[in-house]
Amino acid sequence: MFEFLTTKFEELFYKLRNKGKLSPGDLDAAIREIKLALLEADVNFKVVREFLENTKQKAIGQNILESLSPSQQVIKIVNEEIINILGSSSEISFSGRLPTIFMLAGLQGTGKTTAVVKLANFIKNKYQRKVSVIAADIYRPAATIQLTRLANQFSIEVFFKDNLNPVEISKQGVEYFRKASSDVVVIDTAGRLHIDTEMMEELKNIKKEVIPHQLYLVLDAMTGQEAVNIAGQFNSSVEFDGIILTKMDSDTRGGAALSINHVIKKPIKFISTGEKIDEFEPFHPDRIASRILGMGDVLTLIEKAEKVIDEKKAKEIEQKIMKNQLNFMDFIDQLKSIKKMGSLEKIFSMLPIKNKSKLFSNINLSDAQFDKIVAIINSMTKQEKLEPYIINGSRRKRIAAGSGTTVSDVNRLLKQFEMTQQMLKKISKYGEKGFPLPF
């Protein structure tokens, strides 16, 4: 997510830091680089122009050329302007009259049906509400089957009726779930391959009959400026309240995210960051700006960690680290916990490490590599997991054969584990002395 822009900004800021003080020419060159990066990222031209004007005016107004740390001032200004164009974040709100109705609309292929279940599951878990969904897409083959199958996996009830039009399905579904005491109802409407009058009229009629608390437009982030155009056409026909951007994990440029709020004046409410149902999060402009500038997103990382890490187990691990007693049994437990948080690449992207793109360019963070490590550890005996130092040459050959890997792979893992132990031992000494940890 935003990999292209992150790389460009990291390169620019590295150049600025190495210059010490900046000349007017340095500032102009930096502005030009930012302009090219944003345009290549498919950001709307008007947004780019306004962004650059504001950035330059602030830079001149704050007299950064005379400051002691001009590069930091530039980073601060750019960060503020990115937050500004991304818009403000807003918590999801609920109606005073049950059920609260959320209606989703969008073109085919945007991931709308999956987004319906993602939103329902998010509200169910985050706010502890009874959430149900209505299948009002009667046109796309297997749309109802897909929705029902996904929803059932997360114990979310689905309403659907054969031989009814989408408006009647929506009306009857809302009434059914009102009687069933559902707190929230999410409606999946029909999409089209492109915007047409018939689809818009159907959406208007559903909206008029069920009066949703919020109508969200689902857009594919990978379509860039086209997503902005689609949002404009939708809003002129069926006014919506917010946007759900899907496929953000595949969008390395970020043009849609950086343009849409500024052009359409509608907030991005949620982003879908992967194929899994729980890879769905509220849109926080300040956190996104931090990710774009390569400064990580620690708050989101903490929130993910809190969901999967057992506090008692974490304390036990901490004590073992202090005593230098960490073993492969602990290591595999921690790997599994990390895996629940998402891919290693996503986790590292949230860490506040400078020049991540360069630092991790030669490190394999793929799921396949993760699975290889797990296979090697699972091929060890219990004693080997508890006492890794006993793993000699013959044991390494057996572990490699049992895990379908090579002896080199086993040696590499053992070396990495030894280095990790040494690093953690040093970190624990910092903690004992009361010094801040070096990360």
Q: What CATH code is carried by the domain that includes residue 112? A: 3.40.50.300
Contacts of 150 (CB under 8 A, 6+ apart): 113, 114, 117, 277
Q: Return mean pLDDT, the chain.
A: 82
Across-strand partners of 270?
244, 282
Looking up residue 16, the CATH number of its domain turns out to be 1.20.120.140
The answer to the question of residue 211 being in a domain is yes
The answer to the question of residue 176 being in a domain is yes
428 neighbors 321 (Cβ within 8 angstroms)? yes
Residue 48: how many CB atoms within 10 A of its CB?
20
Give the separation between CA 341 and CA 57, rounded to whole angstroms.
41
* Pair 311, 253 in one domain: no
* Pair 119, 263 in one domain: yes
* Pair 257, 227 in one domain: yes
Q: DSSP 3-state assignment of 379?
A: coil
Q: Give the model's confidence band at 142: pLDDT under 50 very low, under 70 low, under 90 confident, else very high.
A: confident
268 neighbors 87 (Cβ within 8 angstroms)? yes
Looking up residue 322, the CATH number of its domain turns out to be 1.10.260.30
Q: Which strands sit side by side in the sheet containing 280-282, from one edge to the other?
A: 157-159, 131-135, 184-188, 100-105, 214-220, 242-246, 268-272, 280-282
pLDDT of 188 above 80: yes
* Pair 208, 333 in one domain: no
Question: What confidence score (pLDDT) does residue 399 get?
Answer: 94
Question: What confidence score (pLDDT) does residue 149 get?
Answer: 94
Residue with the bigger pLDDT between 303 and 263: it is 263
Residue 359: how many CB atoms within 10 A of its CB?
12
* Pair 222, 158 in one domain: yes
Average pLDDT over residues 229-249: 90
* Pair 377, 406 in one domain: yes
* Pair 39, 160 in one domain: no
Question: What confidence score (pLDDT) does residue 21 get?
Answer: 72
Q: Give the model's confidence band at 337: pLDDT under 50 very low, under 70 low, under 90 confident, else very high.
A: low
Q: Give the model's confidence band at 434: pLDDT under 50 very low, under 70 low, under 90 confident, else very high.
A: very low
The answer to the question of residue 92 being in a domain is no
* Pair 131, 68 in one domain: no
Q: Degrees (nearest 5) of the Cα angle 224, 86, 1?
A: 55
* Pair 250, 144 in one domain: yes
* Pair 30, 114 in one domain: no
Given 86, 118, 137, the domain boundary residue is 86
The answer to the question of residue 263 being in a domain is yes
Q: Which residue range(s) make up the domain with 316?
A: 301-433
221, two tokens: 């982030």
The answer to the question of residue 95 being in a domain is no
Question: What confidence score (pLDDT) does residue 22 get?
Answer: 73
Average pLDDT over residues 385-389: 87
97 backbone dihedrals φ, ψ, rounded to 5°: -115, 125
340 backbone dihedrals φ, ψ, rounded to 5°: -65, -20
Residue with the bigger pLDDT between 69 and 243: it is 243
The answer to the question of residue 91 being in a domain is no
Q: Which one of 63-67, 68-72, 348-352, 399-403 scores highest in mean pLDDT?
A: 399-403
326 backbone dihedrals φ, ψ, rounded to 5°: -65, 135
* Pair 248, 329 in one domain: no
Give the separation between CA 401 and CA 420, rounded to whole angstroms.
25
Q: Degrees (nearest 5) of the Cα angle 139, 239, 104?
A: 40
Given 52, 86, 120, the domain boundary residue is 86
Domain count, the chain: 3
Query: Can you tell me which residue has the tokens 């602030």?
Result: 58
Across-strand partners of 133?
158, 186
Reported for 352-358, long-range contacts at CB under 8 A and 24+ positions apart, including other chains, are 352/295, 352/296, 352/298, 353/296, 354/10, 354/294, 355/10, 355/14, 355/294, 356/6, 356/10, 356/294, 357/3, 357/6, 357/7, 357/10, 357/294, 358/10
Residue with the bigger pLDDT between 295 and 93: it is 93
* Pair 265, 163 in one domain: yes
Give the separation between CA 74 and CA 354, rounded to whole angstroms.
16
Q: Give the model's confidence band at 180: pLDDT under 50 very low, under 70 low, under 90 confident, else very high.
A: very high
pLDDT of 136 above 60: yes
Give the separation between CA 422 and CA 434, rounded to whole angstroms.
19
The answer to the question of residue 438 being in a domain is no
Average pLDDT over residues 2-28: 80
Given 248, 265, 295, the domain boundary residue is 295
pLDDT of 332 above 90: no
435 backbone dihedrals φ, ψ, rounded to 5°: -85, 155
pLDDT of 351 above 60: no
